[in-house]
Chains A and B, each alone.
Chain A
């Protein structure tokens, strides 16, 4: 299971970076989405997986018997998902504004701030 998930994490990172390096802004945003998933899954796997043992105190005991699934990475991922969701929403609205204003969603066309020409 660990190895399968590790491979998936690698694939997700690869796909995300490939998409972010594309010219179309929509693809860049899809890349950002996948990158978030890759990081979240990465945290999930690297904090070690324990199957079928939730961190709940059974009746009659004062503590959780080992081994149990660590709940902290799950809390981290939940937070990261929520934050990522906000950022993605912002990115999509930004894309929409850019498209409306410039009539293009190609990164190659959006280079006015990179040129040596002075701004007004």
Chain B
């Protein structure tokens, strides 16, 4: 065992331990909350430590049971996975704060804390693992936890949304398994580094491409790319807001993360075929997502459809497949996780005041809650990509990467979709913030001071996230550097293989 492996295992084991301990306090929401808070703070600390270590020293690998590389269970941390873990920690803190701030019943709360910890455990494992079958297992841990979180509360729309979510994810998992089977049949290995070394040598490259398509479809379902995204707008707006904001921020991005990992490390022999498929899909994803949003008349559903559109940008960077474009994708993931979650949390605050998400019944938020309107405007402009906010830098890097690679069409589409994004943000702005409050709507909270006082813990995460978005936009230098280095690391397949095999 290497000396530094505990840096890597710390963030992985913290949520598991916290989850188990909070199960012991099943009856006491108060102790659960304390355990959760402690656990998440340790997790945040551990993830930042991992990130700084990887930033200064490069890869960390850990071989389970000291078995040498392709035989043991491998964990690898590189800049991308460490960054994703840090983002997971940030988001978990935010949604937990938001959850504590809201009105809740103890029945829901007792399940919320341990399950959220299990979800974080699954996510961390998925980001760190260096073995495709383990990735499947981590996915399942994550999915089962998200199933529970989805159905928490058990309202009709939640259960209906969950049915679609569960069914499509079972299909996705079984396609993933089939892909694992093909890859194992070809190489006799499941270790990602070993696969990266062995797959280019396989005689029958047609079968390798076949396997890669299994993974495109499976991860495509999880990431919600066109034409596999229909489950997302049908289920993401149903669960309680603290849950859906977390799921929105993270679960689709795990799909993107695994795509980045697989299509920069493992399936790189036939990029002309696989990455062209991804390029076409990303274009459709962007356009269809944003058009779907334009048709909606519900605050949260508009935002749900926008997730699909934003996923298109992330896939675009991967499909263009140059270091600049992939750096753009990584920066865009950081930006999007923060902005999207923030917009969801703000929609939740509006629901707290007006008791509804329906655009028809909303209005006058700018008049009554100017502070909330300001927070929304920052996030909305950032999502659209108005300089100098964070979305601009992400889109700029993606467009630059696309232009350098000569992919004019996709760059054109991405810029056009930005304008449409602005259109639906102005629609929300006009309907929710500027329009006069319809007379039929009775507000639950109608003074800004009341909102800040009674929903203090729900406003805090929105403020913190807005601060981070501003930081990411106005002081983007270090984050762009991070993305660039992470992208270079991703493109450097040899470096990954050598790190895992300790050569």
Return B224 CB to nearest CB of chain A, in Å: 15
Chain B residues with a Cβ closer than 8 Å to the other chain, count: 50
The interface residues of chain A lying within 8 Å CB-to-CB of B159 are 94, 97-98, 101-102
Q: Which residues of A contact B358 (CB under 8 A)?
A: 118-120
Asked if B170 and A35 make an inter-chain contact with CB atoms under 8 angstroms apart, the answer reads yes
Residue among B163, B167, B184, B297 with most chain A CB within 10 A: B163
Question: Smallest Cβ distance from B256 to chain A, in angstroms?
Answer: 23
Q: How far is the CB of A28 from chain B (nearest CB, A)?
A: 6
Give min CB distance, A91 to chain B, whole Å: 6
Within 8 A of B (CB), among A12-41: 20, 25, 28, 32, 35-36, 38-40
Instruction: Enumerate chain B residues within 8 angstroms of A90, measured Cβ to Cβ.
Output: 144, 147, 166
On whether A113 and B160 interact (CB within 8 A), knowing A32-B170, A118-B356, the answer reads yes
Which 8 interchain pairs have the tightest Cβ spacing?
A118-B358, A118-B298, A43-B181, A46-B185, A39-B177, A39-B174, A110-B160, A46-B181
The answer to whether B360 touches A118 (Cβ under 8 A) is yes
A37 to nearest B CB, angstroms?
10
Q: How far is the CB of B269 from chain A (nearest CB, A)?
A: 20
List the B residue with the shortest CB-CB distance to A38: B174
Given A39-B177, A116-B297, CB of A98 within 8 Å of CB of B163 = yes
Q: Which of A84-120 contact B (CB under 8 A)?
A: 86-87, 90-91, 94-95, 97-98, 101-102, 107, 110-114, 116-120
Contact indicator B170/A101 (Cβ below 8 Å): no
Taking the complex as formed, is B4 at the interface, i.e. its CB lies under 8 A from any CB of chain A?
no
- Picked from A20, A72, A120, the residue with its CB within 8 Å of the CB of B355 is A120
Chain B, 157-180, CB within 8 A of any chain A CB: 157, 159-164, 166-167, 170-171, 173-174, 177-178, 180
23 contacts between A and B (CB under 8 A): A20-B171, A32-B170, A36-B170, A39-B174, A39-B177, A39-B181, A43-B177, A46-B185, A70-B188, A87-B170, A91-B166, A101-B154, A102-B159, A102-B160, A110-B160, A111-B160, A113-B160, A113-B164, A113-B237, A116-B296, A118-B357, A119-B237, A119-B301
Contacts of A79 in B (CB 8 A): 133, 137
Q: Which residue of B lies closest to A41 (CB)?
A: B181
A69 within 8 A of B: no
B143, closest chain A residue (CB): A87
Range, interface on chain A: 35 or more
Asked if A7 is an interface residue, CB under 8 A from chain B, the answer is no
Q: Which residues of B have CB within 8 Å of A119?
A: 157, 237-238, 298, 300-301, 357-358
Say yes or no for B32: interface residue by CB 8 A criterion. Answer: no
0 or 1 for each of A35-73: is its CB under 8 Å from B? (1 = yes): 110111011001110000000000000000000001011
- The answer on a CB contact under 8 Å between B185 and A48 is yes
Given A101-B154, A110-B160, is A76 in contact with B357 using a C-beta cutoff of 8 Å? no
Indicate if the CB atoms of A35 and B174 lie closer than 8 Å.
yes
Q: Which residues of A contact B137 (CB under 8 A)?
A: 79, 83
* Nearest-CB residue, chain B, relative to A102: B156
Interface centre among A46, A111, A114, A118 (most CB of B within 10 A): A118
Residues of A within 8 A of B147 (CB): 90, 94
User: What separation, in Å, do the CA atoms of A18 and B186 have in the docked complex?
Assistant: 29
Name the CB-closest residue of A to B154: A97
Max chain A C-beta neighbours (<10 A), residue from B154, B167, B177: B177
Which chain B residues (264-302) contact chain A, with CB distance < 8 Å?
A: 295-301
B23 at the interface (CB under 8 A from A): no
Q: A73-B184, A110-B160, A113-B235 are in contact. Are A118 and B295 (CB under 8 A)?
A: no
Which residue on A lies nearest to B184, using beta carbons?
A47
| A120 and B357 in contact, given A39-B174, A112-B157 (Cβ under 8 angstroms) | yes
CB closest chain-A residue, reference B157:
A113
Measured between beta carbons, the chain B residues less than 8 angstroms from A101 are 154, 156, 159
Could you tell me the distance between the alpha carbons of A48 and B157 in the complex, rounded to whole angstroms?
45
A28 — which chain B residues lie within 8 A by C-beta? Answer: 167
* Contact across chains for A94 and B157 when beta carbons are under 8 A apart: no
Given contacts A25-B163, A98-B163, contact A47 B185 (CB under 8 A): yes
Chain B residues within an 8 Å CB radius of A86: 140, 144
Assembly CA distance A118 to B233 (angstroms): 12
Output the nearest chain A residue to B207 by Cβ-Cβ distance.
A46
Task: Say how far A34's CB is from chain B's closest CB, in angstroms.
Answer: 10
A20 touches B359 (CB 8 A): no
Residue of A nearest to B298 (CB): A118
Is residue B468 within 8 Å, beta carbon to beta carbon, of the partner chain?
A: no
B151 sits at the interface (CB 8 A): yes
Instruction: Tell yes or no: B182 within 8 A of A by CB.
Output: yes
Q: With A116-B297, A118-B297 in contact, is A39–B163 under 8 Å at CB? A: no
The reply to whether the CB of B234 lies closer than 8 angstroms to some CB of chain A is yes
Asked whether A76 and B360 contact (CB < 8 A) given A87-B140, A97-B159, A113-B238, the answer is: no
Cα distance A76–B361 in the bound complex, in angstroms: 53
The CA-CA distance from A113 to B181 in the complex, in Å, is 35
Tell me the minimal C-beta distance from A12 to chain B in angstroms.
Answer: 11
B156 is contacted by which of A47, A48, A112, A117 (Cβ under 8 Å)?
A112
From A32, A36, A46, give the contact of B182 (CB < 8 A). A46
Give residues of chain B (207-263) contacting chain A, Cβ–Cβ below 8 Å: 234-235, 237-238
List the B residue with the shortest CB-CB distance to A17: B171
A9 to B69, CA, bound (A): 33
Closest to A46 in B: B185
Task: Let me know if A83 and B301 touch, CB within 8 A.
Answer: no
Pick from A47, A72, A110, A118: contact of B163, CB below 8 A. Answer: A110
Interfacial chain A residues near B164, Cβ < 8 Å? 113
A113 to B144, CA, bound (A): 21
- Measured CB to CB, the nearest residue on chain B to A16 is B174
